[in-house]
């Protein structure tokens, strides 16, 4: 069994898509996933599954969310090991040494087509900065994510992909949870 992390977009934000984490955990367990653990109230779930196709996992979770909670909630699934690699190569943390509290990562459903990413390259988004690497966008938002123009909606509209963002601290905790599961299986 591999360890996965699913990131749901727009859960428990501004009174919309209210889902209790114990109900979400029950749903995942009902899908046959193992060692299900939610992290904070924003739709982060660490789990193990024999299914290895990420798109299939996303489809299964999305369909279950629709049935159980009547919400069309975007879902992105990554292997825990991939998330660890994404964190390890963060250019804002490793090369530029920015404050961890100002760093976020936006996850994309797929790598954006070059024609779309080129359209936003020359825009001025200062003081915020971003770097696109495959299916992840590294963000530095010195005034906080709540004030940036580089939001999920911005990237979805400009890059024509699904997007959801988490702060670096949350992602570090998710990776730790995923690693605990991996070590327990040794």
For the chain, the structural domain boundaries read 2-80, 84-171
User: Can you tell me the distance from the alpha carbon of 162 to that of 146, in angstroms, rounded to the nearest whole number?
Assistant: 19
pLDDT of residue 14: 66
- Angle formed at CA 50 by CA 26 and CA 168, multiple of 5 degrees: 65
Considering only CA atoms, which of 24, 130, 20 is closest in space to residue 75?
24
**75-79 and 2-8 strand pairing:** antiparallel
Higher pLDDT, 136 or 180: 136
CATH fold, domain 84-171, is Alpha-Beta Plaits (3.30.70)
Give the CATH H-level superfamily of domain 2-80. Answer: SP0830-like domains (3.30.70.1280)
| Residue 186: band (very low, low, confident or very high) from pLDDT cuts 50, 70, 90 | very low
User: pTM of this prediction?
Assistant: 0.91
pLDDT of residue 182: 65
Question: What is the average pLDDT across 140-163?
Answer: 95
Question: What is the average pLDDT across 128-143?
Answer: 96
Q: 119 φ, ψ to 5°?
A: -65, -25
């Amino acid at each position: 069994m591999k360890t996965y992390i699913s990131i749901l977009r727009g859960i428990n934000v501004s009174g919309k898509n209210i889902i209790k984490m114990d109900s979400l955990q029950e749903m995942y367990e009902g899908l046959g996933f193992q060692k299900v653990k939610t992290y904070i109230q924003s739709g982060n779930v660490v789990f193990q599954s024999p299914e290895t196709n990420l798109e299939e996992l996303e489809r299964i979770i999305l369909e279950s969310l629709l049935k159980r909670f009547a919400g069309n909630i975007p879902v992105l699934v990554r292997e825990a090991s991939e998330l660890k690699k994404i964190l390890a190569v963060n250019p804002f943390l490793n090369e530029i040494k920015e404050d961890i509290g100002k760093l976020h990562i936006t996850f994309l459903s797929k790598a954006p087509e070059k024609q779309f990413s080129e359209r936003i390259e020359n825009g001025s988004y200062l003081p915020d900065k971003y770097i696109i690497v495959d299916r992840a966008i590294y963000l530095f938002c010195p005034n906080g994510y709540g004030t940036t123009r580089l939001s999920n909606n911005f990237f979805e509209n400009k890059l024509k992909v699904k997007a959801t963002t988490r702060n670096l601290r949350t992602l570090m905790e998710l990776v730790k949870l995923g690693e605990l599961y991996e070590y327990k299986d040794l």
